[in-house]
Structure 1
């Protein structure tokens, strides 16, 4: 059966998208010393048939992320590099949002970018996340205890400044990375945020950082902003008791929806991402659609996490979601939308060793821009 619903256009924010198959943000480690490249342009242009591309996560300031060669957006050279990519996507008929990212407590002081920044690793509270693998640092150090952020407005300003640069670069919108244990998620989560000031404690206080950041970036992008949320937690030592999770994320989504956002991308529970810490799974397993759909009244809702096109078609056709974001399959199938349109299988074999760059990688095209297209000669 043709994916008629997934392939139908939809207005999201101020933009009309040609289909409802979004390409999720995918960390690929090809931005040498944080700067976007022509190779990255090739990669994104290959996938411009997506209704909307979300860029790989973009650091709003120098931070010692566990992902070496992650891209940034804090100077004119970053703007020029992203503009080159965005122009290519637009010329190919695509739309692209930039995903703004601050890793917070899951940085490391010995990582090269953190050293260049000359500041400590910051978090909402002085509570270390468990886990962490910094393969580009000697040994395999885990996460460290962060320095509590004295004034969260200083971090919000980094997001605001990055949004201004994103606009200069030409992004069609921006998405706040509010999932997977990064700084916005850290403020939301009652296990990572033990503050007793206006930024912690109650649901409203823990959600304040996310909502104030949203307001700050809306000053530049208006309604063309989005949130990525993972209420089930797990990754990077996230996960509240179910009652806390339901209260926190229902409040956040309701308030964000009132402020006006283009869409909310919800990550659903996937067992393989349920990271165990000290032998105990960290996720707060629950059905995100049945739990939160009712709080999203104006924004569009997109679902992510192991959603195949066949399931996405059913969910869109029945009105449960407005579209889907696909991640891993977009890595291996640059022509994913065309395959869906013509009933071609998603059968490329992933090049696991080259998903990200490593110490022995010399050709960054491998596993990045070299996946084959399907055979369309007999259509």
Structure 2
């Protein structure tokens, strides 16, 4: 059995305060009501072996967490095209095989009463021209500008360890007409809908493709897709519009990481607030289900050339008032106690949890009864990033074999 650790679920000094708010329903939109406020963030686990299609082992993984009480699950990052791949076994949604495989997962999750969104995630320049799926795509690596990410950016060696030597991201090709990639997102949304997803979360942060368009250190274009704030924001907004056309109102969410840092992005504080204020304000007009903001942490902000790359600021304080038509969610290592306090004080509408779900498929029960949490087996966090095709029994370790808690009578 895994080692255990205790989370802070004790009530604060206010005797009237309670964690009970986490166990009450949350109306996500006019059509979707979540049974509680235990939201599961996207968690990349690399178990799509031997191809880019989800497996039966993944069906069990998602079913466990739905059965354990997650009200909304956002899938691990799903690649909209073969061109936007990063490592050999990341899941895609560009083929019929993948659509059929994801349908098994969404069916299993729905059987347990849980809502599931697909996170659409195009990596942009965070890629290598020698990556097998990139080669198979027959296309160049696309980004807003021909600027490679710094090799000291987060986890570069981990990302590309299936390639020989110490590879870094390749210099991308500035895409001639970004409308091509907007249609790639639209087709991915159509496929996600056929696969049974209730909606999609568009990853607009993390230093990946949409964030690269937003950030003036990665986007040096001089056409309608670069330069001014309005132009740099255009690509992300157009992606949201076409995805919303597919799923309708209240079924599209976005992940936003204004503090930057990760994958070699980060503007001045002035540029950051100006850019994201405009982006968030315009996105809020599109009848989205939610916006989810990652709070700043040094773990996501590497030191490059002797200094931090990101722009530290309080995302709740800075952007909360801008979100008027969709739910305001946050993510970033929040404890259940912090989540309950933020929700009860109306600072946020909900909090996504990530790492607790990895080792605790019954996370809500453990919080409810103040039980110990399983410790994550970090040696099994990812499945096969070195390119090996591991047998299912190996991939299950640290994935679907965490023990459930013994609940009090």
Q: What TM-score range do you get, normalising by the shorter chain? A: over 0.9
From 165, 183, 204, the counterpart of 1:178: 204
Deviation at 1:321, TM superposition (A): 0.5
The equivalent residue for 1:111 is: 131
The equivalent residue for 1:312 is: 339
Per-residue Cα deviation, 1:134-167 (whole angstroms, up to 9, x for no partner): 0011112011111000010100101000100111
In 1: Cα distance, 2:201 partner to 2:347 partner: 22
Q: Does residue 1:5 correspond to 2:21, yes or no?
A: yes
Deviation at 1:344, TM superposition (A): 1.8
Deviation at 1:343, TM superposition (A): 2.2
The equivalent residue for 1:272 is: 299
Per-residue Cα deviation, 1:244-280 (whole angstroms, up to 9, x for no partner): 1101111111111111100000001012221111221
The equivalent residue for 1:368 is: 399
Q: Unmatched 5+ residue regions in structure 2?
A: 1-10, 12-17
From 38, 47, 50, the counterpart of 2:56: 38
In 1: Cα distance, 2:204 partner to 2:372 partner: 32
What SS does the corresponding residue of 1:303 show, helix, strand or coil? strand
Kindly indicate whether the alpha-carbon contact (under 8 Å) linking 2:87 and 2:131 is maintained by their aligned counterparts in 1: no
Kindly indicate whether the alpha-carbon contact (under 8 Å) linking 1:72 and 1:78 is maintained by their aligned counterparts in 2: yes
Kindly indicate whether the alpha-carbon contact (under 8 Å) linking 2:206 and 2:263 is maintained by their aligned counterparts in 1: yes
Q: Does residue 1:287 correspond to 2:337, yes or no?
A: no
Q: Does residue 1:351 correspond to 2:369, yes or no?
A: no
What SS does the corresponding residue of 1:29 show, helix, strand or coil? coil
Q: Does residue 1:201 correspond to 2:254, yes or no?
A: no
What SS does the corresponding residue of 1:217 show, helix, strand or coil? helix
Per-residue Cα deviation, 1:65-98 (whole angstroms, up to 9, x for no partner): 4433100001211111000000000001111000
Kindly indicate whether the alpha-carbon contact (under 8 Å) linking 2:86 and 2:123 is maintained by their aligned counterparts in 1: no
What SS does the corresponding residue of 1:6 show, helix, strand or coil? helix
Deviates more, 1:307-316 or 1:354-363: 354-363
In 1: Cα distance, 2:71 partner to 2:369 partner: 16
Matches within 5 A, 1:133-212: 133=157, 134-212=160-238
Q: CA RMSD in A?
A: 1.2
In 2: Cα distance, 1:356 partner to 1:279 partner: 29
Q: Does residue 1:26 correspond to 2:43, yes or no?
A: yes
Kindly indicate whether the alpha-carbon contact (under 8 Å) linking 1:63 and 1:103 is maintained by their aligned counterparts in 2: no
Which protein has greater RCO, CA pairs closer than 8 Å, 6+ apart? Answer: 2
Count, aligned residues = 377
Q: Does residue 1:337 correspond to 2:364, yes or no?
A: yes
From 75, 78, 83, the counterpart of 1:58: 78
The equivalent residue for 1:77 is: 97
Kindly indicate whether the alpha-carbon contact (under 8 Å) linking 1:20 and 1:322 is maintained by their aligned counterparts in 2: no
Instruction: Tell me the TM-score normalised to structure 2 length.
Output: 0.90
In 1: Cα distance, 2:200 partner to 2:337 partner: 28
Deviation at 1:356, TM superposition (A): 0.6
Deviation at 1:64, TM superposition (A): 6.1
Kindly indicate whether the alpha-carbon contact (under 8 Å) linking 1:25 and 1:327 is maintained by their aligned counterparts in 2: yes
The equivalent residue for 1:15 is: 32
In 2: Cα distance, 1:326 partner to 1:275 partner: 23
In 2: Cα distance, 1:204 partner to 1:56 partner: 30
In 2: Cα distance, 1:304 partner to 1:94 partner: 19
What SS does the corresponding residue of 1:301 show, helix, strand or coil? strand
What SS does the corresponding residue of 1:220 show, helix, strand or coil? helix
In 2: Cα distance, 1:227 partner to 1:374 partner: 33
Deviation at 1:126, TM superposition (A): 0.6
